[in-house]
Amino acid sequence: MSDASIKVMQLLDELEDILETASKVPFSDKAIVDSEEISQIISDIRLSMPKDIQQAQWVKDEQDRIINEAKAEYDKVIVAAKKQAEYLVETDVIKREAEKRAGAVIAEAESHGRYMKLRSYEYIDKMLYDMQNEIAKLATDYIQPMNDHFTEMLNGINTQVNSNRQEMRDMAERIQSREAASDDRYASYGEDEE
């Protein structure tokens, strides 16, 4: 387990300790905690998370940069082709030749532009695929254990609450039994006097 993982688990244990030792609100399952302390621990957890999650913005910026470079290259070739075409249109023969060459240059530029776009999309797709794998690994390594831990903690709390409820029911039944027994004694006492 990495140092970041250990730090996150320690912070979660600290958070759990705060919740377990917090003052309870009478007649409820709510606890009173220091919101600043909880906020600081959450902030520390965020800072301790692996850097892979922070790569999402970098991948987006990289995608924009590659697409902009491809577009700039495409525009540059188109401008160069148009300038060359305008220069060569002095006579009909030159004009026809220029049109032919300009068409070839434009076709080549469009082909090159498509190639650059495809390459950039492939690169971005690979980056996103790698990031997706890292996120899945994070979910397996960090989120699932945290979820299991919280589920276990909540199940323990729920068991305790059920136990408390049962204890209250037992106490209520004992009180009702005593009252019924007391009522029977008073009723029989009244009959004895008659």
Residue-wise pLDDT tens digits, 107-160: 988 898 889 888 888 888 888 898 888 888 887 887 788 888 888 888 989 999
CB 180 within 8 A of CB 43: no
Flag whether pLDDT at 1 surpasses 70. Answer: no
CB 52 within 8 A of CB 135: yes
Enclosing H/E stretch for 72: helix 55-88
Residue-wise pLDDT tens digits, 60-69: 777 888 888 8
Residue-wise pLDDT tens digits, 39-56: 888 888 777 766 665 566
Say how far apart CA 74 and CA 122 lie, in whole Å.
Answer: 18
Residue-wise pLDDT tens digits, 8-36: 778 888 888 888 888 888 888 888 888 88
With 0.85 as the threshold, say if the pTM is over it.
Answer: no
**pLDDT in the model for residue 163:** 92
Flag whether pLDDT at 92 surpasses 70. Answer: no
Closest by Cα among 17, 43, 40 to 153:
17
Q: Please name the amino acid found at residue 142.
A: Y
CB 101 within 8 A of CB 107: no
**pLDDT in the model for residue 22:** 82
Contacts of 143 (CB under 8 A, 6+ apart): none
